[in-house]
Structure 1
């Protein structure tokens, strides 16, 4: 069983997936910081100082020891903005990768195949024979 697990864990796809998860986690922190520390304060300033984290509907007020029952829609709005920024960033990244792949394919296609002297000589002979047949 250990041998099978080792073969599975060492496969390229598993390692690529692990690297993607780690980079994705770090990227998520960067985007969360971008939203929380830069974008949301700007939106808050544009909306008159509203902090989205604290926007909520109070369904039932607090009763002494019981906390208030609330719907925290501001946090939901902030998570939607996070999602939109993350998905747009990933879209741009994938688009950039695809552009590089297309350019690399174009370079591969542009490489001319150098023919040997024998092949060139045979092509000349063929062309000469074709011209004599007419």
Structure 2
């Protein structure tokens, strides 16, 4: 089997395609969460703590000298990344929780009895005719 054909079979499996879709949707969801945190949550949180812009928080380790830029420990951006992660993790947790609830409901629901076979139907008809 050629390597190209083998790769095509691998790439077209359902789980690989599902994974690719999940990665694309996850990246888009990440952008939405970053915007939510950076543009909505952090400004409100900054206002509540006295007008602080978290993205600009940092500790200058070494001042800029000539063409060499300053060395800054940007812990405000880290705080924002932690908020991003927390929101994404919570959203995924809620999604998994909902999926698990649906799975438990499916498992708890009794399965419908199987339909009688044609042989059973025929025997039932014969029995009913004999009763008459």
Task: Specify the TM-score bucket, using the shorter chain as the normaliser.
Answer: 0.7 to 0.9
CA shift digits 1:44-99 (9 cap, x unpaired): 11011111111011112122322211111111111111111110110001111111
Q: Which SS does the other structure have where 2:64 is aligned? A: coil
| Mapped partners of 2:67, 2:14: distance in 1 | 56
| Mapped partners of 1:114, 1:8: distance in 2 | 39
TM-score (normalizing by structure 1)? 0.79
> What's the offset of the Cα at 1:23?
1.2
Match of 2:57 in 1: 55
Report runs of 4+ in structure 1 exceeding 6 Å deviation.
Answer: none
Match of 1:81 in 2: 83
Alignment counterpart, residue 102 of structure 1, candidates 90, 101, 104: 104
> What's the offset of the Cα at 1:114?
6.2
CA shift digits 1:95-117 (9 cap, x unpaired): 1111111112222x253456657
| Mapped partners of 2:82, 2:72: distance in 1 | 19
Q: Which SS does the other structure have where 1:48 is aligned? A: coil
| Mapped partners of 1:25, 1:59: distance in 2 | 33
| Mapped partners of 1:84, 1:37: distance in 2 | 16
TM-score (normalizing by structure 2)? 0.80
More helix as a share of residues: 1
| Mapped partners of 2:67, 2:25: distance in 1 | 44
Instruction: Say whether 1:24 aligns with 2:26.
Output: yes
Structure 1 residues not aligned, in runs of 5+: 120-134
Structure 2 residues not aligned, in runs of 5+: 125-132
Give the RMSD, CA atoms, in angstroms: 1.9
Match of 1:91 in 2: 93
Match of 1:4 in 2: 6
Aligned length: 118
